[in-house]
Amino acid sequence: MASAAPNILNPTDETFQQEVVESAVPTLVDFWAPWCPPCRMLKPELAAVAEQVVGRANVAFVNVDESPEVAEAFGIQGIPAMFVLKQGQIVDQAVGYRPRAQVLAWLEPHLAPPNA
């Protein structure tokens, strides 16, 4: 992956509250693990989505092995699992791989207005 978009986050158990829950813009949270093939396929798709929604949403990658408390709080049982948080509340969720266009269409209704 080339340079990461400025709205890509890698929160931990310690930083999730501040980086994601308290975010001023909606955040797509991807729960993943390096040993999960569908997760590895989804990550570049989500990175590309992040580039398209700069200023309107963040994309956060949460490694379930490194941040077990956050994964447990969300009740993660299968990965990849995606959640959209808006003002600290879960407004949508999906499990499994989706191509970039599907992710963008799924995320679109939750995006902040341009220049919000």
The domain segmentation of the chain, as residue ranges, is 8-109
Characterise 75 by phi-psi region: left (phi > 0), alpha (psi -120 to 50), beta (else).
left
pLDDT of residue 1: 42
Q: How far apart are the first and last CA of the chain?
A: 28
Residue 19 has pLDDT above 90, yes or no: yes
Quote the pLDDT of residue 114. Answer: 81
Of residues 39, 42, 79, 107, which has the active-site annotation?
39
- pLDDT at 33 > cutoff 60: yes
Active site residue 73: no
Mean pLDDT of the chain: 94
Q: Write down the CATH number for the domain with range 8-109.
A: 3.40.30.10
- Listed residue (94, 109, 2) closest to 53, CA to CA: 109
5 has pLDDT over 50? yes
Strand order in the sheet with 89-95: 8-9, 58-63, 27-32, 81-86, 89-95
* Residue 36 annotated in active site: yes
Q: Which residue is catalytic, options 9, 20, 28, 36?
A: 36
Lookup result for tokens 């989706």 = 98
pLDDT in tens, 56-66: 999 999 999 99
